[in-house]
Amino acid sequence: MESGREYFAGILDELRRDNPALGEGFLLRESRGDPLDSLILTILSQATNDRNSGRAFRRLRNKFPTWEDAMHASESAIEDAIREGGLAKQKAARIKSILRRINEETGSVSLDFLKDRSTNEVMEYLMSFDGVGPKTAACVALFALGRPEFPVDTHILRVSRRLGLVGEKDTAEKAQESLQKKIPPEMIMDFHLGLIEHGRRTCRPGNPTCSHCCLRRFCKKSGLKDFTLQAEKS
Ligand code: SF4
């Protein structure tokens, strides 16, 4: 497999051509949210879609305008507020436990102190919470703290396996570890957003539209070998 900066830049160029929203004007690119908001929103997004997790987050904030309010609330009240996001009982327990621990350890219900920590310290601290794995921690580090961490979700894992960027049987955690080392830091944000969109719109789970795929020439995996060979000959 071709590798290195040029290879990733080539994929990114194609993704940008295919999706002009990437790059300069992409809203998320410059977003620097509150890190605790980002952590709670990412926990709520586990095992559900963005719409449901967004609604659950907004209901939670409406019911508890500050994270201190949520910390003092009962688990059942949090559970009720986030029900729309699924796994409400489990997520409510995790959220309450996270808020209490942050308060105990830092004296306030805020993760702003992470802004002054190294990226390794940020990842280590976030992953020390129950229910926070590498993907959730990397989402907070990337979107709220602007660190070049590469979260691998289900779309990115699928597309990366098909492209041959990672092994076909690699887990999301292994893929994240491997891609984190390979993708140049300045490309991480757009690469992340671009592959997710590509997985949603083109490289879908059951029926990828390979004939219209902007990444055909990069796709060398066995399931599409015949198609890729044809594409290369034409
Ligand atoms: S050619 Fe097909 S399998 Fe390969 S990245 Fe494109 S849509 Fe996915």
> Could you tell me the pTM of the whole model?
0.87
Question: From residue 8, how far is each of 25, 38, 146, 167, 192 by CA, in Å?
Answer: 21, 28, 20, 17, 12
- Residue 16 is predicted with a pLDDT of 92
Helices (H), the chain: 5-18, 35-44, 50-63, 67-72, 75-81, 88-106, 119-127, 134-139, 154-163, 172-182, 188-201, 225-233
- Residue 29 is predicted with a pLDDT of 46
The active-site residue out of 89, 91, 96, 135 is 135
- Residue 226 is predicted with a pLDDT of 44
- Residue 50 is predicted with a pLDDT of 84
- What is the third-level CATH fold of 5-26+151-233? Endonuclease Iii, domain 2 (1.10.1670)
Q: For the chain, how big is the Rg over CA atoms in Å? A: 19
Task: Looking at the CA of residue 231, tell me the nearest atom of ligand 1.
Answer: 1
With a 6 A CB cut-off, is 220 part of the ligand 1 pocket? no
With a 6 A CB cut-off, is 163 part of the ligand 1 pocket? yes
- Pick the residue whose CA is nearest to atom 2 on ligand 1: 210
Taking the chain, what is the end-to-end CA distance rounded to the nearest angstrom?
A: 21
Task: Give the 3-state secondary structure of residue 137.
Answer: helix
- Residue 119 is predicted with a pLDDT of 97
- Residue 154 is predicted with a pLDDT of 95
Dist. CA 196–CA 145, nearest whole Å? 20
Q: Which residues of the chain have pLDDT under 50?
A: 1, 25-30, 222, 224-234
- Residue 49 is predicted with a pLDDT of 87
Q: Count of residues for the chain?
A: 234
Q: Cα of 169 to ligand 1 centre, how many Å? A: 17
Q: Cα of 180 to ligand 1 centre, how many Å? A: 21
Task: Looking at the CA of residue 227, tell me the nearest atom of ligand 1.
Answer: 1
CB-neighbour burial class of residue 164 (10 A; exposed 0-12, middle 13-18, buried 19+): middle
CATH match for 33-144 among 2.102.10.10, 3.40.190.290, 3.40.1350.10, 1.10.340.30: 1.10.340.30
> Among positive and negative, which fits the CA dihedral 43, 47, 51, 55?
negative
Each domain of the chain, given as residue ranges in start order, spans: 5-26+151-233, 33-144
